[in-house]
A and B are shown apart, each in its own frame.
Chain A
Amino acid sequence: MPDKHVGQPLLRKEDPRLLAGQGRYLDDLGRDALAAAFVRSPVAHARITDIDVTDALDVEGLVAIYTYEDLPDRIAEPLPLLIPHPDLTHARTPHCLANGEVNHVGEAVVMVVATDRYLAEDAAERIRVAYRDLPPVVGVSQARAGDRLVHEDVPGNIAARSVQENGQGDAHSAIAAAPHKLTLDLEIERSASMPMEGKGVLAHWDADDRTLRVHSSTQTSTSVRLAVAAKLGLPPDRVEVVTPDVGGGFGVKIVHPWPEEILVPWAAMTLGRDVKWVEDRREHFISSAHERGQQQRIEVGFDDAGRLHGLSVEIWHDNGAYVPYGIIVPIVTSTQLLGPYKVGAYRVEFTSLYTNTVIVTPYRGAGRPQGVFAMERTMDAIAEYLGLDRLAVREANLIQPDEMPYDQGLVFQDGRPLIYDSGDYPTMMRMIRDLVGWDGFEAEREAAAGQGRRIGIGVAAYVEGTGMGPYEGAHVKVETTGEIVVSTGLTTQGQGHYTTLAQIAADVLGVAVADVTVITGDTRRFKYAVGTFASRAIVTSGNAVAVAAAKVAEKAKRIAAAALGDGIAPEDLELGDGVVRRKDDPGSFIDLQTVAVLSNPLRYAFDEAAKAATQFAAAANTGDEPGLEATGFYMPERSTFAAGAHGVVVETDPETADIKILRYCVVHDCGVVVNPRIVEGQVHGGVAQGVGGALYERIVYDDAGQLVNASYMDFLIPFSTEVPHIETAHMVTASGVNPLGLKGAGEAGVIPTSAAVASAVEDAERGRGATEQGLAIRRMPISPSELYELRKGRVHA
């Protein structure tokens, strides 16, 4: 039997290349291409009254200036609404270039093309756009007030209003009838994906061949291809979209087509020259996408043991100026809020609101951090109210393993029922209790207090729907050199797919991982794919690779059986160690490489090995199509549900209110683990972003709608010095949905971090004795300055 590669903590195949600076990112391509730059709106909300390009015309190297008026039919239409939903009654999407009105600072107004980016910016700087200001709507509260409108034909700024109930009765009556009730008002501020590499597009138009090649730093090359083809009026087969190495996505690059993904190819076709646009950091801040901003009101009814009888949640979600990605984020918040708990009667209502700010689309976690914050703050508030242990309250509400699969009675973001396929939440909570040292913490707290220090412990749990459809596919081929090439339309942004997908293929084909090359995100190599987002890649593509590789294995056995003769049947054979061999006589085998040669019957021998496949050689005909290759797809019936719990210990400086994470513990269940090293890396990266969201990162708009911290100087992404050491424990409850038993792991780390840190900081600030009150954290992120403010409000008896 071949060694199993799945489950091994192999080093990442892609790292030597990436770490040695041999990565090839968008800006490494197209050295001679023309460069595009954009004039972007400096104001949040205005009518454009005039665009004067006169002064730009004599910039040397200027090639073209385009405004909305220059755009042909389909390109002049608004960008598509990617995910329509019946509750999304007032969807508005942006234009490629502003059509008379701008709705956020950073919206593209004019496109400039010049011989290089410096000159393009010189010209852009000289273009004068006149604006007549309209009142800006900034922040959830102002959007809710509804007296100022972002879009004059959208009353109350309401893009969508949506209600879901879980079929367990009326939540309000359940709450009213419960022994105890609490109400919480919560808020999560804006953050953003902030990949190190911004977006970027390079387009090459071959006028003779009438083909367009687009390189884009995207999370979905196949979808960009369809969108570009549709906008430019080309048959999809005339459009190739290739993703080079991508320096991070975290959600923002799943949105498509970005205006630049249409305008750059269009300019390349119009000008007959290669055109490139590389987003700079400021552009990324003001014209890509943000997330997280929500207000929430929670009403909960519970009994003396802290068991929930009813839960009603209202969410006001800031969706920014437009909703090209639909209302996925608040749908995810509304459904994933439930976590590993049974909440009794549940009602959730969200209102998705326009504001004159950058659009809001999924960012790693995609609405879950907000939902988990709501649920876990509620758990802590119940424990505080009842004087119970916070973990005990959580444990009282857990779904039990014997209740799996568990139907939460809601519709999930994939339009399918929210049914948890598997999981063991009581074990998970026990593991986090042990890992973080929950039970011994009171002694630690006292010892610290003796030294005048404040420390606190917090915990938060989540369930994450992963691996959603509609599908992913893969093409697996054994080359006549023996190399195995796995092509998937899936894109990759550093998650380690070149390694994990190779591990899966290697196991099915009985070869070494080193022999497997994975190709991603190139529509020339594989045309059908959805994309890498929502913790779906390993689940969907991993299973697709297994399907395709299994087909190849079957074919190899058929061809090998015919070649070995002797009345051997394919069933008598197995793959392993790079050969196809008899199960009962492993000494009798044929190299997989030779099988690949034989799989393609030849008239002409091109080298020594190829002779074996020519007509007068004794190659047997199995009736198979030529080539030792196959395509396979995996179409999940519905999502599969991963889970985890984080425990964190913090210290708050009694004087400066500085907040320090002392310990960070993660218990993590993503089903069968393909590569524990990579999963841990994913968890670490997620926690780092989670720590950012909890303590550092916030997008700040002023009242006029100016983004005041649009740089890494003031938008505080944690450095390695701010990311704690992370202690991880894996548990495995195999997925009941897919053949490999996989669940996604990409987003996990970020999901409960804000909730866990809030819990720990609140605990550190717990009142001491009868003389001092605790304080309630209702809003994240939290800075030392804000903790200081909260402390001032604390009443000393």
Chain B
Amino acid sequence: MKPPPVVYHGPDTLEEAVRLLAEHGAEAKVLAGGQSLVPMLNMRLTAPRRLVDVNRLDELAYVRSDRHGVRVGALARHADVERATHAFETVPLLRQAVRTVAHPTIRNRGTTVGSLVHADPAGEMPAVLALLDGEVLLRSERDGERTVAAADFFVGPMESACREDEVAVEAYFPRPAGRTGTDWRELSRRSGDYALCGVGTLVRVDDAGAVVAARAAYIAMGSVPQVVDLTEAAADGDWSAAAESAADQLDPEDDIHASAEYRRHLARVLTARSLKASYEAVAP
């Protein structure tokens, strides 16, 4: 469990990082928190010739909020997102979800942007970005900056739209419009494990308490985060029926920890509980 030889680059500026990637492209990989990449290197599951370490780019170590949403820089750790009170007040779902990412020590190193690029279908933050219709800001020498919407960002399991010559600079989590409640819940075998099934929901109500929008996003239920619109199904507040309709649209797989059928069952149970919690957070 020792990685193969690798050339290490430790750029001090984003410009330099982007230039290194332009120069080495497919040979290089960005190293952020290393919580996913380093184990893969050690197990020799990936063998880039070069690492471009972005940990010196202090300019990207930020979590900023305004009334529209929360911007998370590439060097913000999961723990920074978790602790930022303004981010929680702006987009409560961020803290609700990030708390269930791994363990405190891993959250202290792992970056939220890194987990988006990593695009693990069981990762929480990709689903949060997808549920909120967020976006990722990418930068390369060739194209300069471009923004990719969540719906286009997650391409497949462990595959995102971030090209090998690009640095993901920032993720943007917009604040849901109107009177919207959110909730995150999941079931994992052990605390901090990747979930067997996880669901985030968002329910918007009008002043009378009627549901005007409802959506759910799932992890570990498909090759990318699965977003299901439940506005119609949840319109009359029958959470079980809405959950039933959501579960029907999911196509999970078996693995050694849970059967596909059990996962779908969990999706049903957790969705009903989550919709109810989201609703109750904002219901008059």
A binding-site residues for B, Cβ under 8 Å: 117-118, 121-122, 125, 280-282, 655-658, 696, 698, 700, 708-709, 711, 714, 716, 718-719, 721-722, 783-785, 788-789
Q: Name A785's contact: one of B103, B190, B191, B258 (CB within 8 Å).
A: B258
29 A-B contacts, Cβ less than 8 Å apart?
A: A118-B2, A118-B4, A121-B44, A122-B5, A125-B44, A281-B1, A282-B1, A655-B269, A656-B266, A656-B270, A657-B262, A658-B187, A696-B190, A700-B256, A708-B256, A711-B43, A714-B256, A714-B257, A716-B189, A716-B193, A716-B257, A718-B190, A719-B192, A721-B191, A783-B189, A784-B187, A785-B262, A789-B259, A789-B262
Interface flags for B38-76 (1: CB within 8 Å of A; 0: not) read 000001100000000000000000000000000000000
Closest B residue to A121 using CB positions: B2
Closest B residue to A658 using CB positions: B187
Q: Could you tell me if A783 and B4 are in contact, using CB atoms closer than 8 angstroms?
A: no
Cβ–Cβ < 8 Å partners of B1 in chain A: 121, 280-282
Q: Name A721's contact: one of B43, B187, B190 (CB within 8 Å).
A: B190
CA distance A708 to B265 in the complex (A): 25
- CB of B196 within 8 Å of the partner chain: yes
Closest A residue to B194 using CB positions: A713
Q: Could you tell me if B191 and A719 are in contact, using CB atoms closer than 8 angstroms?
A: yes
Closest A residue to B268 using CB positions: A655
Cβ–Cβ < 8 Å partners of A721 in chain B: 190-192
B binding-site residues for A, Cβ under 8 Å: 1-5, 43-44, 103, 187, 189-193, 196, 256-259, 262, 265-266, 269-270
CA distance A321 to B2 in the complex (A): 28
Contacts A121-B2, A280-B1: A656 and B191 contacting too (C-beta < 8 A)?
no
CA distance A709 to B189 in the complex (A): 14
Distance of A234 from chain B, by nearest CB (Å): 32
Closest A residue to B260 using CB positions: A785
CA distance A118 to B256 in the complex (A): 32
Cβ–Cβ < 8 Å partners of B44 in chain A: 121, 125
Chain B contact residues: over half helix, strand or loop, or mixed?
loop
Q: Could you tell me if B187 and A125 are in contact, using CB atoms closer than 8 angstroms?
A: no
Cβ–Cβ < 8 Å partners of B270 in chain A: 656
CA distance A696 to B192 in the complex (A): 14
CA distance A1 to B192 in the complex (A): 54
CA distance A118 to B193 in the complex (A): 30
Q: Could you tell me if A122 and B4 are in contact, using CB atoms closer than 8 angstroms?
A: yes
Cβ–Cβ < 8 Å partners of A700 in chain B: 256
CA distance A657 to B262 in the complex (A): 10
Q: Could you tell me if B190 and A722 are in contact, using CB atoms closer than 8 angstroms?
A: yes
Cβ–Cβ < 8 Å partners of B269 in chain A: 655-656
Closest B residue to A37 using CB positions: B2
Cβ–Cβ < 8 Å partners of B43 in chain A: 282, 711
CA distance A696 to B191 in the complex (A): 12
Most buried by A among B1, B5, B103, B258: B1
User: Considering the complex of A and B, which 7 residue pairs feature the smallest CB-CB distances, nearest first?
Assistant: A280-B1, A785-B258, A721-B191, A785-B262, A118-B2, A655-B269, A788-B262
CA distance A657 to B187 in the complex (A): 10
Distance of A147 from chain B, by nearest CB (Å): 26
CA distance A700 to B259 in the complex (A): 15
Q: Could you tell me if B259 and A785 are in contact, using CB atoms closer than 8 angstroms?
A: yes
CA distance A658 to B258 in the complex (A): 12
CA distance A369 to B68 in the complex (A): 58
Q: Could you tell me if A788 and B265 are in contact, using CB atoms closer than 8 angstroms?
A: yes
Closest B residue to A719 using CB positions: B190
CA distance A709 to B5 in the complex (A): 27
CA distance A476 to B71 in the complex (A): 68
Closest B residue to A118 using CB positions: B2
Cβ–Cβ < 8 Å partners of A711 in chain B: 43
CA distance A489 to B267 in the complex (A): 56
Cβ–Cβ < 8 Å partners of B5 in chain A: 118, 122
Distance of B38 from chain A, by nearest CB (Å): 13
Cβ–Cβ < 8 Å partners of B265 in chain A: 788
Cβ–Cβ < 8 Å partners of A118 in chain B: 2-5
Known: A656-B187, A788-B259. 16 other contacts (CB 8 A): A118-B2, A118-B4, A121-B4, A282-B43, A658-B187, A698-B256, A714-B256, A714-B257, A716-B189, A719-B103, A719-B190, A719-B191, A721-B191, A784-B187, A784-B262, A785-B258
Distance of A519 from chain B, by nearest CB (Å): 33
Q: Could you tell me if A125 and B196 are in contact, using CB atoms closer than 8 angstroms?
A: no
Closest A residue to B273 using CB positions: A655
CA distance A711 to B103 in the complex (A): 17
CA distance A19 to B120 in the complex (A): 36
Q: Could you tell me if A785 and B257 are in contact, using CB atoms closer than 8 angstroms?
A: yes
Q: Could you tell me if A783 and B187 are in contact, using CB atoms closer than 8 angstroms?
A: no
CA distance A28 to B265 in the complex (A): 49
CA distance A425 to B189 in the complex (A): 36
Cβ–Cβ < 8 Å partners of B3 in chain A: 118
Contacts A118-B2, A656-B269, A788-B262: A783 and B192 contacting too (C-beta < 8 A)?
no
Closest B residue to A787 using CB positions: B262
Q: Could you tell me if B189 and A696 are in contact, using CB atoms closer than 8 angstroms?
A: yes
Cβ–Cβ < 8 Å partners of A280 in chain B: 1
Cβ–Cβ < 8 Å partners of A716 in chain B: 189-190, 193, 257
CA distance A313 to B33 in the complex (A): 54
Closest B residue to A722 using CB positions: B190
Q: Could you tell me if A783 and B193 are in contact, using CB atoms closer than 8 angstroms?
A: no
Distance of A399 from chain B, by nearest CB (Å): 39
Q: Could you tell me if B258 and A784 are in contact, using CB atoms closer than 8 angstroms?
A: yes
Contacts A118-B3, A125-B4, A282-B1: A709 and B256 contacting too (C-beta < 8 A)?
yes
Cβ–Cβ < 8 Å partners of B4 in chain A: 118, 121-122, 125
Distance of A641 from chain B, by nearest CB (Å): 35
Cβ–Cβ < 8 Å partners of A722 in chain B: 190-191
CA distance A514 to B4 in the complex (A): 48
CA distance A122 to B265 in the complex (A): 46
Closest A residue to B272 using CB positions: A655
Cβ–Cβ < 8 Å partners of A783 in chain B: 189, 257-258
Cβ–Cβ < 8 Å partners of B191 in chain A: 719, 721-722
Distance of A437 from chain B, by nearest CB (Å): 27
Distance of B114 from chain A, by nearest CB (Å): 17
Distance of A285 from chain B, by nearest CB (Å): 11
CA distance A189 to B5 in the complex (A): 39
Cβ–Cβ < 8 Å partners of B103 in chain A: 719
CA distance A378 to B198 in the complex (A): 38
Q: Could you tell me if B196 and A785 are in contact, using CB atoms closer than 8 angstroms?
A: yes
Closest A residue to B47 using CB positions: A125
CA distance A118 to B259 in the complex (A): 39
CA distance A655 to B266 in the complex (A): 8
CA distance A711 to B1 in the complex (A): 12
Distance of A117 from chain B, by nearest CB (Å): 5
CA distance A788 to B267 in the complex (A): 14
CA distance A719 to B190 in the complex (A): 7
CA distance A708 to B189 in the complex (A): 17
CA distance A122 to B192 in the complex (A): 33
CA distance A525 to B258 in the complex (A): 52
Distance of A662 from chain B, by nearest CB (Å): 16
CA distance A698 to B257 in the complex (A): 10
CA distance A714 to B43 in the complex (A): 15
CA distance A450 to B4 in the complex (A): 60
Distance of A651 from chain B, by nearest CB (Å): 14
Cβ–Cβ < 8 Å partners of B257 in chain A: 714, 716, 783, 785
Closest B residue to A117 using CB positions: B2
Cβ–Cβ < 8 Å partners of A708 in chain B: 256
CA distance A788 to B43 in the complex (A): 34
Closest A residue to B263 using CB positions: A785
CA distance A783 to B263 in the complex (A): 13
Distance of B185 from chain A, by nearest CB (Å): 10
Closest B residue to A282 using CB positions: B1
Distance of B105 from chain A, by nearest CB (Å): 12
Distance of A527 from chain B, by nearest CB (Å): 36
CA distance A722 to B4 in the complex (A): 36
CA distance A656 to B196 in the complex (A): 11
Most buried by B among A282, A696, A700, A783: A783
CA distance A721 to B258 in the complex (A): 21
Distance of A120 from chain B, by nearest CB (Å): 8
